[in-house]
């Protein structure tokens, strides 16, 4: 790469010029006048220069697919008539209509019969906003009949016929669906525009084809972000450009594993030298996980995904174990009104805690969980500071943190969410975000509009 100087920027509170070459930071010097002959120069005009942001929990394939799907979320569809309008006008892609983001507040539970009344001319499948449930019409069920099994994940009526509701069925459903890779490049460009230079994909148990797709995208530059995979196979060498992370363990909240089985699974991963990342969105799943880790012993790098409900005392237990938490405070904005209506009042003070976990000594980083949450990190940061619902009501005011604290989570390393923020220093990778104003001013009103330029390994990414 041509040597680059990002001139007159704010780094750690001081004005300087940052020099880049060969994908790395080569120096920080006092601001000076630069001759055109020495390097390419980008003027920073006093804006903050930050290490690139890292989203510690995202689903890259699902996010790319969501961009190609019908938005059936409460924010878009609003009610039954809106859902009907959206699904009926949607063009079929590869012969299917795919909807995402549905919640029962729109039109109650969906099954094959309700979807047939909306649209029956083509196969239709709609994903619940939790990502845990697919709802199919009759035409879609006919297409996937050969991959339906006898487990409770295939909901059936009193006569034993499938209702069209499939739980945690993504992997089993995939062989019956059209094979067309999603546009990862467009999704990567969108994420880069927010200042995101690194991604931890939280999809569990990625199959070899998915790993190969990611490897090709990374090698070609279609996805320039640095990629860490929680779903990478244990013990297998990954292609260049991909890094394995802790092993994702997806606890099914409606069917939690036996304690001995969970403890054995954690121990097996630890014996292979691999920490675990355990999906916990209920108090029961978190208690089970903490007790299992206490029984087996924690390994550096163990983490809890979501920690949506953390009862009193469990934060201290997580701290003793050294387990980090990757949380999603923006769910309070997008789902907070539903939480206030549906969640047990005893759980509301413990919902997506942040400040309390930090005070207990737990390392915490916020993330998006996109596409199930908004991928914009600046919105997530804003929600961490306000904890406001879409109607402006506050959920757990005591759990607010400063914008600087929330940003620090995005700046923490991929292998240490909530750890010490990465810095800009000679020798480190030139994964950088230039803002259009000083950091304190930007954090007073966090928005993606402040992102002016992004570099990954010294190359422009946005």
Q: Using one digit for the tens of pLDDT, what is the confidence trace for 297-307?
A: 999 999 999 99
Instruction: Render pLDDT for 371-394 as a digit per residue (tens, 0 to 9).
Output: 999 999 999 999 999 999 999 999
E strand residue ranges, 331-439: 364-366, 432-435
User: Is pLDDT above 90 for 356?
Assistant: yes
With contact defined as beta carbons under 8 Å apart, do 434 and 47 qualify? yes
Residues whose CB falls within 8 Å of the CB of residue 283, separated by 6 or more in sequence, listed in order: 309, 310, 311, 347, 350
Evaluate whether 238 touches 214 at the Cβ level (below 8 Å): no
Share of the chain above pLDDT 70, in %: 98
pLDDT in tens, 31-67: 987 655 566 999 999 999 999 999 999 999 999 999 9
- Which residues share a beta bridge with 460? 455
Q: How high is the pLDDT of residue 109? A: 96
Ordered domains of the chain (ranges, CATH): 1-52+422-462 (2.30.40.10), 54-59+182-421 (3.20.20.140), 69-176 (3.10.310.70)
Q: What is the 8-class DSSP label of residue 303?
A: E
Q: What is the pLDDT of residue 346?
A: 87
Distance CA 141, CA 136 (A): 6
With cut-offs at 50, 70 and 90, classify the pLDDT of residue 2: confident
Report whether 106 contacts 77 (CB < 8 A): yes
Specify the pLDDT at position 32: 85
Residue 143 CA to residue 140 CA, distance in Å, equals 5
Of 349 and 424, the one with more pLDDT: 424
Over residues 274-298, the pLDDT tens digits come to 999 999 999 999 999 999 999 999 9
Cβ atoms of residues 8 and 17 within 8 Å = yes
**Alpha-carbon Rg for the chain in angstroms:** 23
CA–CA distances in Å: residue 442 to residues 11, 42, 111, 337, 393 = 14, 20, 46, 28, 24
Query: Which token pair is 406?
Result: 């929330």
For range 316-331, the mean pLDDT: 98
Q: What's the mean pLDDT when you consider all of the chain?
A: 95
Confidence of residue 180 (pLDDT cuts 50, 70, 90): confident
Which pLDDT tens digit goes with each residue over 203-214? 999 999 999 999
Mean pLDDT to the nearest integer, 132-153: 96
pLDDT category at 1 given cuts 50, 70, 90 is low
Tokens standing for 237?
Answer: 């060498």
Contact assessment for residue 291 and residue 262, using Cβ atoms and an 8 Å cutoff: no
What pLDDT is attached to residue 80? 96
pLDDT in tens, 79-99: 999 999 999 999 998 899 999
Q: In this predicted structure, what is the pLDDT of residue 181?
A: 85
Angle, in degrees to the nearest 10, between helices 60-67 and 208-220: 80
Q: Locate all alpha helices (DSSP H) within 111-230, ordered by sequence.
A: 112-118, 138-144, 170-173, 184-193, 208-220
Strand, helix or coil for residue 119:
coil
Q: What's the rounded mean pLDDT across residues 203-226?
A: 95
Q: How distant, in Å, are the alpha carbons of 102, 128, 213, 228, 269 from that of 352?
A: 21, 20, 33, 24, 27
Asked if residue 227 lies in contact with residue 191, where contact means CB atoms within 8 angstroms, the answer is: no
Tell me, what's the pLDDT at 193? 98
**Conformational region of residue 176, where left means phi above 0, alpha means psi within -120 to 50, and beta covers everything else:** alpha
Per DSSP, which regions of 232-320 are E strands?
242-244, 247-250, 276-280, 303-306
pLDDT at 179: 82
Query: What is the enclosing helix (H) or strand (E) of 99?
Result: strand 97-102
C-alpha torsion sign, points 222, 171, 247, 58: positive
CB 123 within 8 A of CB 137: yes
Q: Is the pLDDT of residue 253 over 80?
A: no
Per-residue confidence (pLDDT) for residue 38, from 0 to 100: 63
């Amino acid at each position: 790469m041509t040597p680059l100087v990002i001139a007159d920027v704010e780094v750690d509170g001081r004005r300087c010029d940052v020099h880049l070459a060969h994908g790395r930071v080569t120096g920080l010097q006092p601001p000076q006048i630069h001759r055109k002959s020495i390097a390419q120069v980008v003027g920073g005009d006093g804006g903050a220069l930050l290490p690139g942001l890292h989203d510690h929990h995202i689903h890259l394939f699902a996010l790319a697919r969501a961009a190609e799907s019908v938005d059936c979320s409460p924010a878009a569809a609003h009610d039954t008539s809106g859902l009907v309008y959206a699904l009926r006008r949607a063009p079929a892609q590869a012969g299917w209509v795919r909807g995402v983001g549905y919640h029962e507040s729109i039109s109650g539970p969906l099954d094959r019969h309700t979807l047939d009344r909306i649209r029956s001319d083509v196969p239709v499948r709609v994903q619940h906003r939790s990502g845990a449930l697919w709802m199919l019409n009759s035409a879609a069920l006919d297409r996937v009949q050969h991959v339906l099994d006898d487990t409770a994940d295939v909901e059936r009526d009193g006569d034993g016929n499938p209702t069209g509701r499939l739980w945690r069925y993504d992997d089993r459903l995939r062989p019956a669906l059209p094979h067309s890779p999603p546009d990862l490049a467009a999704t990567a460009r969108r994420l880069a525009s927010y200042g995101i230079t690194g991604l931890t994909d939280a999809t569990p148990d990625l199959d070899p084809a998915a790993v190969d797709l990611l490897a090709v995208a990374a090698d070609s530059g279609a996805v320039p972000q640095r990629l860490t995979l929680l779903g990478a196979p244990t013990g297998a060498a990954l292609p260049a450009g991909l890094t394995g992370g802790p092993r994702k363990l997806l606890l099914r909240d409606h069917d939690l594993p036996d304690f001995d089985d969970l403890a054995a699974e954690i121990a097996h991963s630890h014996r292979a030298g691999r920490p675990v990342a355990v999906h916990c969105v209920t108090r029961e799943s978190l208690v089970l996980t903490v007790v299992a880790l206490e029984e087996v012993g924690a390994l550096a790098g163990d983490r809890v995904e979501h920690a949506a409900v953390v009862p009193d005392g469990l934060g201290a237990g997580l701290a003793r174990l050294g387990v980090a938490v990757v949380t999603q405070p923006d769910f309070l904005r997008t789902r907070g009104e539903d939480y206030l209506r549906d969640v047990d009042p005893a759980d509301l003070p413990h919902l997506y805690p942040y400040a309390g976990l930090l005070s207990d000594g737990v390392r915490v980083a916020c993330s998006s969980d996109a596409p199930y949450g908004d991928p914009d990190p600046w919105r997530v940061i804003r929600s961490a500071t306000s904890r406001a619902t879409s109607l402006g009501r506050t959920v757990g005011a005591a759990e607010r943190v400063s914008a600087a604290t929330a940003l620090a989570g995005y700046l923490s390393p991929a292998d240490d969410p909530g750890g010490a923020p990465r810095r800009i220093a000679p020798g480190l990778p030139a994964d950088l975000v230039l803002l259009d104003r000083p950091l304190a001013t930007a954090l007073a009103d966090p928005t993606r509009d402040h992102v002016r330029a992004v570099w990954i390994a010294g190359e422009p990414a946005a």
